[in-house]
Amino acid sequence: MIKFSKQQLKIPQLMRPVYLVTAGQSKFDRAIPDKRTEELCIDALTMAAELVNMSPAQLKSYIHSCYYGHFADHFGDQLLGEAVIHDRLGLDPLGNIGIKTGGATGGSTLWEATKAVASGYSDCALAMGWERMDEVPTDEGNFLISCAADKDWESPLGHIYTGYYAVMAQRYWQIFGKAEDSFRRTLAEISVKHHGYARMNPFAQSPMKITVDDVLKSPVVAYPLRALDCCLMSVGAACAIICDEKTAEQICKNAPHKPLRIWVAAGSHTLRPADRRDMEIPLLPNETADQYKDLGERFPGGDRYPGFTGFLATRMSAYYGYRMAGITDPSEDLDVIELHDAFTISDMQSYEDLGIRPYGQGRDYVESGDCYHTNPKTGQPGKLPSNISGGLIGCMHAVGATGIMQTFEMASHIWNRWAEIHGEEKIWRKFGRPKPADWTDLQVKGAKRGLAISHAGVGSHVTSTILIDPDHLLKKDD
Amino acid sequence: MSMFGQVYVKNNRYKIKGNFHHLTPNIPIRNADDGWKLMGVTNPRDMTYIHAYGGEAPFFEALSQGKLLGTRCDNPDCEFQGTVYQPFRIHCMDCLGRNTIIDMTDAAQKNAVIHTFMVCERSGAFSLLDKPIKFINVEFEKVDTILMSYLSKGSPEIGMRVVPIFKKQSPTYTIMDLSWVPAGTEEDQLPEGFGF
Ligand SMILES: [Zn+2]
């Protein structure tokens, strides 16, 4: 579709306020040979219960319907895995459903759980996501991931998803990055930042103290993308409990944090970038059509939208989501974000799709230092810190769990519990990971509002999950 | 002795012969750090799928005959009548009418350029293309979409003029039968089995 009807542009509405009350996650790693998937899901749900000072059985007693995010049946080699997890969590005979939208599965799972509560169907819903990517070696894993491209038109061409992103990276680099080395270094800086933040996260799979040059010297996977530009392949689980207001108050009665308002909106675009047709840019509240009039003059070749440089699905999820939650300018209204950094280039592309920077100017979000917890240029807090978890590059990409992990990360900042959740010695010991001597508290001080992006394919499905402290809403409920 | 799985269609049913799967035993996975205790088991699986091209079959057949087919919406009631699709789309994405099949071979020989590209040093399992794979996305005049393919000769650059080549000898009947070379490449420089 390249033109929208009025009906299609309706701003989605939740029929009543919806809250995220708690969340939890397992350890994330490339392989976890000593645990079955259901053990990881139980780890996540147990953690969610502990955070609200409940036993798992107490928390379970509130759950009315369950939403399970698990992308790739062929990775785990178990169809109807949702039924296995549901049984092992002891939640039969409640209704449950499996959700799969590739890399966006975690966000889509939250989307479904939120709608279930908003509609009144359930007062409390479980959103649980997981992925098991260690049952095949990496090459076979790359093959299985490439099955999420078009199997007749794309997958046979190399069976490597990185390649399908690299063509976007090339085009973006040449047009908006003007093929400058400095732009390539800025991309590499994203990887340095995410592996660096992962060092402070005991759940994270790939903590690394590296430099821009290390990224630029890492092996080429699909030029211009190198190994350290790419996300991880992971095993792990994450969950969130989504409630109406009354249930949220009950569950948080003895909790050290308050329930957070949640909104989730979704967008989509063609599985094959090949099928994208030219269209006008759908505008976010902080943009005007005028500002893009001369885009093609400033960046020759950059006037094809979304072309191979933008993600329409991301743009549409923000188009709906910002207006649902009352966000008029993401840089001003949000305090912390988690982006879907499947590749350094897609992280960069998303800054523009989300209106953090105008189209063509994404690199400035990194180069200004705004994306850091502490701006390296000024030593002051970053304006809008992103991917403090380490993201998909540093923390994990256990596909079905990823969007839920990101949302949990944001919640931990808004609850002011980041240091407790990430810093306690016992968690580091439990995961057999040494806590670094220079461990730093990355709590984003005073965070009240956050956004997490969950993204599939080469932009086929994207969700925007918005969390807001209910005492700091941006608009009154309709 | 095993034989590749083969399939044909008769009376609109699949007729199959040969081996569609191969038997390999499970093997235990043990822990070298803890007295070789049992941790799991391998589950070998080697299976041949039967896949229908449906309305795209003419496209894949035509590649083996040296032709590049695309489609066009000719529905006079469609708001976007005249949209030309490459990749070949069976139905118009706007009106869902059945598109007209068009032969784009001449146009592709005259006005195809590289929209973007990448050079892939690694591939996933089961990739049959030689590395490095030079992925290119090909833009055509008056075509609304951009085709993903690969370059068989030279170094790709954005804006470079390219011409299609086709695997007419021993075709695979997959998208790999279509490749591209820089405009001006001589026939004797093409990879084995390929021709203009
Ligand atoms: Zn039409």
Q: Is residue B144's pLDDT more than 80?
A: yes
Q: Can you say whether the dihedral through the CA atoms of B57, B60, B63, B68 is positive or negative?
A: positive
Q: Is residue B47 part of a domain?
A: no
Indicate if B35 and B65 belong to the same structural domain.
Answer: no
- Rounded Cα–Cα distance for residues A367 and A338 (Å): 18
Residue A142 near residue A161, CB atoms below 8 Å: yes
Query: Residues of A67-106 as b/e, b for ≥16 C-beta within 10 angstroms?
Result: bbbbbbeebbebeebbebbbeebebeeeebebbbbbbbbb
Q: Is residue B1 part of a domain?
A: no
Q: In the prediction, which pLDDT does B2 show?
A: 66
Q: Is residue B96 part of a domain?
A: yes
What letter represents residue A218's amino acid? S
Q: Is residue B23's pLDDT more than 90?
A: no
Residues 6 or more apart in contact with residue A233 via CB below 8 angstroms:
A30, A133, A134, A138, A141, A397
Beta-bridge mates of residue B71 = B85, B101
State the best of B42, B53, B118 to mutate against chain A, taking most chain A CBs within 10 Å: B118
Report residue A89 as tokens: 């969590």
Does B123 sit within 8 Å of A219, measured CB to CB? no
Indicate if B104 and B27 belong to the same structural domain.
Answer: no
Does A274 sit within 8 Å of B120, measured CB to CB? no
Indicate if B83 and B170 belong to the same structural domain.
Answer: yes
State the best of A32, A223, A309 to mutate against chain B, taking most chain B CBs within 10 Å: A223
Q: In the prediction, which pLDDT does A221 show?
A: 84
Indicate if B82 and B15 belong to the same structural domain.
Answer: no
Beta-bridge mates of residue A124 = A243
Distance from the CA of A233 to the center of ligand 1, in angstroms? Answer: 41
Indicate if B35 and B103 belong to the same structural domain.
Answer: no
Q: Is residue B28 part of a domain?
A: yes
SS3 A230: strand
Residues of B in contact with A274 (CB under 8 A): 87, 137, 145-148
Q: Is residue B38's pLDDT more than 60?
A: yes
Q: Is residue B158 part of a domain?
A: yes
Distance from the CA of B83 to the center of ligand 1, in angstroms? Answer: 7
Indicate if B28 and B94 belong to the same structural domain.
Answer: no
Distance from the CA of A3 to the center of ligand 1, in angstroms? Answer: 13
Indicate if B58 and B153 belong to the same structural domain.
Answer: yes
The more confidently predicted of residues A206 and B119 is A206
- Rounded Cα–Cα distance for residues B191 and B174 (Å): 17
C-alpha closest to that of B126 among A159, A134, A222, A146 = A159
Q: How confident is the model at residue B1 (pLDDT cuts 50, 70, 90)?
A: low
Indicate if B13 and B107 belong to the same structural domain.
Answer: no
Indicate if B28 and B63 belong to the same structural domain.
Answer: no
With a cut of 50, which residues of chain A have pLDDT below it?
Answer: none
User: Complex ipTM, two decimals?
Assistant: 0.91
Q: CA triplet A168, A171, A175: central angle to 5 degrees?
A: 140
Q: Is residue B46 part of a domain?
A: no
Indicate if B74 and B26 belong to the same structural domain.
Answer: no
- Rounded Cα–Cα distance for residues A240 and B83 (Å): 45
Q: Is residue B82 part of a domain?
A: yes
- Rounded Cα–Cα distance for residues A309 and A175 (Å): 9
Indicate if B29 and B104 belong to the same structural domain.
Answer: no
pTM of the model: 0.96
Pairing of strands A449-455, A336-338: parallel
Q: Is residue B48 part of a domain?
A: no
Q: In the prediction, which pLDDT does B102 show?
A: 97
Domain with B69 in it: 54-195
Residues of A in contact with B99 (CB under 8 A): none
Distance from the CA of B99 to the center of ligand 1, in angstroms? Answer: 8
Q: In the prediction, which pLDDT does B177 show?
A: 97
CATH of residue B156's domain is: 2.40.50.140
- The number of folded domains in chain B is 2
Residues of B in contact with A308 (CB under 8 A): 115-116, 137, 146
Indicate if B31 and B74 belong to the same structural domain.
Answer: no
